[in-house]
Structure 1
């Protein structure tokens, strides 16, 4: 009798870059109000976004610590600012913008995202890192939160001049007054919902660090989901 070998089926790996994670989150209707408009970077998409929002962020598919992130802003009808790290370039005309971006992106794949006007502390934008974990298939839990205040002249908070407890950051900011505990509850609910959605697709993932933005009206935005978040800022903050 001839033994029949079962053919092994390969498990399809789901990409973990920014665009893939955004698409997973976007599939859940409950999360849609918390996601900034995002698309693959193409020239047509870039100009559509600038026409609609005025400011956009370009982010590499793969990257961390704010490396390679570029802000493009319309200053006047045909004048634009390109901001990367703490350097700003003013150029005239769409062709000049395209030429500069071609050099800066260096043929890497990027996404383009609506720039959320983040709440500020002393005229410096801040966002909130929310750490969410689970053990195997146990429910997700928020295990830590802290605020990252951007260094002066930087457009991203990854280059952080200041780490603050979230409560202190909310109370020091100039955004629309909202009870702090109510806002924290909303942030945690959004992150737990997003963790469940991502966890359904990335089954092996047991830790996620969300970058959460608050705009001037205290609306909550999921800026990014990090699968290898650093724990060092939490340790530093606890030690102060």
Structure 2
């Protein structure tokens, strides 16, 4: 299971085949010149991300500025390149021979001008088929970064309600948004259960766009618990641990 469990492309393809789940997954292709330019023509902004990566390593944002100019945002570095050939050569200098995917970028809302998404923990207990959302945390990207991984970008972690209230989507009913996030998260793990029948915990990276539409960015089978320790949310942390043990 280990190899497949960490392969983002395999999980995406399997999830995308679900009619119920498909609308919540951003368009994604294996990285090639054809797929990069095709997705950029449709969406103007894409994320180039490693098939085997974790914790935001190696993620590159590419934006079409028009007039054959492309903005590249890698780690905290931003550069503008003229021409497709030069742009692709630059991206390949960062990706090397590793397998990469290209994914439609979700237009994430912001908190203090920094984009954010969420980590949602979904679990079931031993000998139980009932999945439960046991934890949820808002991850705000650090200044100058596009990735929200707390360690990589020195970003912030916030509880759901305070985070939404301080964000650019504070006008949305927080309870309704949370219910939609929970619904899509549970849809995801019920689909993945067919691929990993023995697995009992998932960490889903979930994003809402600026209109509140929910998307699943990716699913992790071995999520770190450090978010909840750093957040000092003891109640949630204990609940997650109780499910892991039970």
Q: Same fold (TM over 0.5)?
A: yes
Correspondence list, 1:1-240, <5 A: 14=4, 16-138=6-128, 139-158=130-149, 159-175=153-169, 177-238=171-232
Distance 1:205 1:15 in 2: 10
- 1:6 is matched with which residue? none
Larger radius of gyration: 1
Pair 14,161 (structure 1): closer, same or farther in 2 beyond 3 Å: closer
Pair 14,137 (structure 1): closer, same or farther in 2 beyond 3 Å: farther
User: Conserved in 1, the CA contact under 8 Å of 2:5 and 2:221?
Assistant: no
1:178 positional shift: 2.0
1:27 positional shift: 1.3
- 1:7 is matched with which residue? none
Distance 1:164 1:14 in 2: 31
> In the comparison of the two structures, how many residue pairs are matched?
229
1:88 positional shift: 1.0
Distance 1:29 1:160 in 2: 37
Distance 1:202 1:25 in 2: 12
Query: TM-score of the superposition, structure 2-length normalised?
Result: 0.89
Distance 2:90 2:216 in 1: 28
Deviation digits for residues 22-56 of structure 1, max 9, x if unmatched? Answer: 01111111111111000111100100111111110
Gaps of 5+ in 2: 235-246
Deviates more, 1:141-150 or 1:159-168: 159-168
CA RMSD of aligned residues (A): 1.6
> 3-state DSSP class of the match of 2:223?
coil
Pair 217,180 (structure 1): closer, same or farther in 2 beyond 3 Å: same
> 3-state DSSP class of the match of 2:87?
helix
Distance 1:212 1:137 in 2: 27
Distance 1:134 1:185 in 2: 19
Distance 1:102 1:33 in 2: 30
User: Conserved in 2, the CA contact under 8 Å of 1:55 and 1:114?
Assistant: yes
User: Conserved in 2, the CA contact under 8 Å of 1:176 and 1:218?
Assistant: no
1:177 positional shift: 2.4
Gaps of 5+ in 1: 1-10
